[in-house]
Amino acid sequence: MNSEERIVPMRLQRFLARAGVASRRGSENLMTAGRVRVNGVVVTELGSKVDPERDEVTVDGRPVRMSGPTYLMLNKPAGYLTTMSDPQGRPCVESLVPCDQYPGLFPVGRLDRDTTGLLLFTTDGNAAQELLHPSRHVTKHYVALVEGIPNAGELGVIARGVMLDDGPAQPAKAHVIDPGDPLYKTVAPNGARSGASVVGIFIKEGRKHQVKRMLAAVGHKVLRLHRDAFGPLKLEGCAEGSWRALTKDEVLAIREVVASGGAAHAQGGERKPNRR
């Protein structure tokens, strides 16, 4: 494991959960019961941290080791909150991914409740933080069913940086998608109604309801929204509502983005995901 992949010290209960010993809450119970030792010393304080590469952790005398981080993608359906729990009991993405199999799993960023598509999950907090940091400029591609048909002038406004109520958005590349393109069907499986169209848009920010607000700012209300790409990842081989582990090449691509500061995929607006 090189320095770029090294796992930083973490809370002991999170380490135990990541190692598959128990859930986070169950790991806390093991600690308070005096069943967990670090380097031979019983540790009951919940704020304690360990270095997974240097400290020896045991539970009931048995060594505990953490495997490498997990990465998977979910094809999120509409109607689910991007959260791991909801006090109001609303459906959450937590129920769609294998949290028991991969303790510590969490989503990287968010999709609105009514937005579908690619949602990355990981147990790697460092990678998630880097992927979401504004300085990384990780490109996301969305497909939107909108009212009306954006003209060249309106697309130009988006390209220059449309003004939103919380300040100007970064320049983004938007394009009208042809009905014959496979991406068209992701938001209009039976075709768009009269007066509507399908638009693809690349963004590098992650502001709340950003794509909806950008298109609304140029006069086109979003009726349906779908994300089909996140950085180097494309939503392939994953039916709606299902998940799959990232391939080795996809994991390497994610790590490359993290290591390079996002530069490797900052030019995402130049590629054409609708030409698969």
Could you tell me how far CA 48 lies from the centroid of its own chain? 28
Write down the number of H helices and E strands in the chain.
Answer: 7, 17
Question: What span, in angstroms and rounded, lies between the C-alpha atoms of 130 and 257?
Answer: 9
Q: Which residues have CB under 8 Å from 28's CB, separation 6+?
A: 13, 46
- Specify the pTM: 0.77
CATH 3.10.290.10 spans which residues of the chain? 10-64
In sequence order, what are the beta bridge partners of 222? 146
At position 44, the amino acid (one-letter code) is: T
Could you tell me how far CA 135 lies from the centroid of its own chain? 16
CB neighbours of residue 179 within 10 Å? 11
Sign of CA dihedral 113, 241, 132, 86: positive
pLDDT tens track for 195-212: 999 999 999 998 999 999
Whose tokens are 């009306």? That residue is: 148
With CA atoms as reference, report the closest residue to 18 among 89, 84, 106.
106
145: helix, coil or strand?
strand
Q: Are strands 62-64 and 167-168 parallel, antiparallel or unpaired?
A: unpaired
CATH hierarchy code of domain 71-270: 3.30.2350.10
The predicted pLDDT at position 110 comes to 94
Rg from Cα positions in the chain: 21
The predicted pLDDT at position 262 comes to 52
Q: Which residues are annotated as catalytic? A: 112
With CA atoms as reference, report the closest residue to 50 among 33, 23, 27.
27
The predicted pLDDT at position 65 comes to 83
Cross-sheet strand order for the sheet of 62-64? 41-42, 36-38, 57-59, 62-64
Superfamily of the domain at 10-64: RNA-binding S4 domain (3.10.290.10)
Instruction: Tokens for 10, please give them.
Output: 């973490």
CATH 3.30.2350.10 spans which residues of the chain? 71-270
Residue ranges in the chain whose pLDDT is less than 70: 1-8, 261-276
The predicted pLDDT at position 7 comes to 55
Question: What span, in angstroms and rounded, lies between the C-alpha atoms of 142 and 200?
Answer: 6
Question: What span, in angstroms and rounded, lies between the C-alpha atoms of 231 and 53?
Answer: 29
The predicted pLDDT at position 269 comes to 41
pLDDT tens track for 12-46: 988 887 777 777 788 899 999 999 999 999 999 99
